[in-house]
Amino acid sequence: MTPAINSAKKAKIEFSVHQYEHDSGHASYGMEAAEKLAVEAERVFKTLVVKLDAKQLVVAILPVNAMLSMKSVAKACGGRKAEMADKVEVQRSSGYVLGGVSPLGQKKPLKTVIDQSAKQYPSIYVSGGRRGLEIELNALDLQTITRALFAPLSQ
């Protein structure tokens, strides 16, 4: 059990958990999940923590095969500038290690934005809270649990 799985259970949504053997030598955690679970990369979403206007942390959720547009995430969150958050800040805020950061069950809930492409799939995959663990759920359920908004985030 992880805080992410507990969060999904508590919300009483429909979800499923998928595990795979994590390879520490793989270049991309997200692409590894897509490959090992035999799921299109467009349906596997990564969770990135971004610092907005040098002070506020926000969560951006987008496909693992996409690049985050810092301008788009800043605009979606009402900020002017965004940059990737420091690894230590991410771990302290979320309670998760990099490569296992889930949008669910974070220690400190943050403003969250989901790439609008998520709405086109019956389900998407997000980290289950550790490397090698994914949660499959409906994007609208993810939006509800995280109080997220949908916006275009990819470059």
The model's pTM: 0.95
Mean pLDDT of the chain: 95
Residues 6+ apart with CB under 8 A from 71: 82
pLDDT digits (tens, 9 = 90+) for 11-41: 999 999 999 998 888 888 899 999 999 999 9
The domains of the chain are located at: 3-151
Q: Would you give the distance in Å from CA 92 to the centre of its chain?
A: 16
Residue whose pair of structure tokens reads 């692409």 in the numeric block:
31
pLDDT of residue 1: 87
pLDDT of amino acid 26: 82
Question: The domain at 3-151 falls in which architecture?
Answer: Alpha-Beta Complex (3.90)
Q: Per 3-state DSSP, what percentage of the chain is helix, strand, and coil (rounded to 5)? A: 30, 30, 40
Tokens 């934005």 -> residue: 113
pLDDT per position as a tens digit, 65-87: 999 999 999 999 999 999 999 99
